[in-house]
Amino acid sequence: MIAAQIKTFAAKLPKQVTLVAVSKTKPNADLLIAYEAGQRDFGENKVQELCQKAESLPNDIRWHMIGHLQRNKVKYIAAFVHLIHGVDSERLLNEINKQGAKNNRVIDVLIQIHIAEEATKFGFSYDEAAKLFEGNNDLKHVNIVGLMAMATFTNDESQIKREFSTLSAFFDQWKEKRSLNVLSMGMSNDYNIAIAEGSTMIRVGSLIFGSRN
Ligand SMILES: *Cc1c(COP(=O)(O)O)cnc(C)c1O
pLDDT of residue 121: 67
Query: In terms of DSSP H, where are the helices of 43-141?
Result: 47-56, 74-77, 90-102, 126-134
Residue nearest (by alpha carbon) to ligand 1 atom 5: 205
> Which residue's CA is the nearest one to ligand 1's atom 6?
205
Ligand 1 mean position, distance from CA 136 (Å): 32
Q: What is the DSSP letter of 159?
A: H
Class for the domain spanning 2-209 = alpha beta
Q: What is the pLDDT along the chain (213 residues), one digit of tens a residue?
A: 899 989 999 999 999 999 999 999 999 999 999 999 999 999 999 999 999 999 999 999 999 999 999 999 999 999 999 999 999 999 999 999 999 999 999 999 999 999 998 877 689 999 999 999 999 778 999 999 999 999 999 999 999 999 999 999 999 999 999 999 999 999 999 999 999 999 999 999 999 999 997
Q: How far is 4 from 6, CA to CA, in rounded Å?
A: 6
CA distance 98 to 177: 24
Atom of ligand 1 nearest to the CA of 187: 9
- How far does the centroid of ligand 1 lie from the alpha carbon of residue 22, in Å? 6
Task: Determine the pLDDT at residue 31.
Answer: 98
Q: How far is the CA of 184 from the centre of ligand 1 (A)?
A: 11
Q: How many CB atoms lie within 10 A of CB 74?
A: 21
Alpha carbon of 205 to ligand 1 centroid (Å): 6
Residue whose CA is closest, atom 12 of ligand 1? 66
Q: Which residues line ligand 1 (CB under 6 A)?
A: 22, 24, 45, 66-67, 150, 187-189, 203-207
Give the position, in ligand 1's atom list, of the atom nearest the Cα of 206. 8
Distance CA 163, CA 33 (A): 34
How many A from CA of 187 to the centre of ligand 1?
A: 6
Pick the closest to residue 16 from 201, 144, 148 (CA basis): 201
- Are 151 and 160 in contact by the 8 Å Cβ rule? The answer is yes
Rounded Cα distance between 38 and 167, Å, is 30
pLDDT at 137: 76
Pocket test for ligand 1, best of 23, 66, 183, 199 (most atoms within 8 A of CB): 66
Question: How close is the Cα of 135 to the center of ligand 1, in Å?
Answer: 31
One-letter amino acid identity for 9? F
Ligand 1, residue 67: give the atom nearest the CA. 13
The confidence score (pLDDT) of residue 118 equals 81
CB 136 within 8 A of CB 98: no
